[in-house]
Amino acid sequence: MTDTCIFCKIVSNDVTATIVYRDEQATAFRDIHPAAPTHILIVPNKHIESVNALQAEDEQLIGHLFTTAARLAKEEGIDRKGYRLITNTGIDGGQTVFHLHLHLIGGQRMRHPMG
């Protein structure tokens, strides 16, 4: 955890968010600026800056983030028609909060191109 990371503050309950899932490894909450009817952020409880900062010991945690995303997609009713999972890495990749996170986005048809 870092003192300045907004997602760390959400994980530690120092900042309020609409949390939809939490366990010992991950926390998921609704995005305050949703890009679609369903827009949930799934973050590891452990502070990891980005995909570039992942270590070999994080492999199980990353798998857990994806299975959590699938579970939440089913709970939100977007699993059958489809959804998008996005991870932005770095400034040019569109990362604005430097705590690794997945965007679970669905509830409408996604547009292309993404970039």
Nearby residues of 9 by Cβ (< 8 Å), 6 or more positions away: 15
CATH number given to 6-35+46-106? 3.30.428.10
Q: Which residue among 33, 47, 101, 103 is the active-site one?
A: 101
Residue 7 CB: number of other CB atoms within 10 A? 23
Q: Is 33 a catalytic residue?
A: no
For residue 115, what pLDDT is reported? 59
Question: For each of the chain's 115 residues, which pLDDT tens digit applies?
Answer: 778 999 999 999 999 999 999 999 999 999 999 999 999 999 999 999 999 999 999 999 999 999 999 999 999 999 999 999 999 999 999 999 999 999 999 999 998 877 5
What is the rounded (10 degree) CA torsion for 15, 41, 102, 2? 0
Q: What is the pTM of this model?
A: 0.95
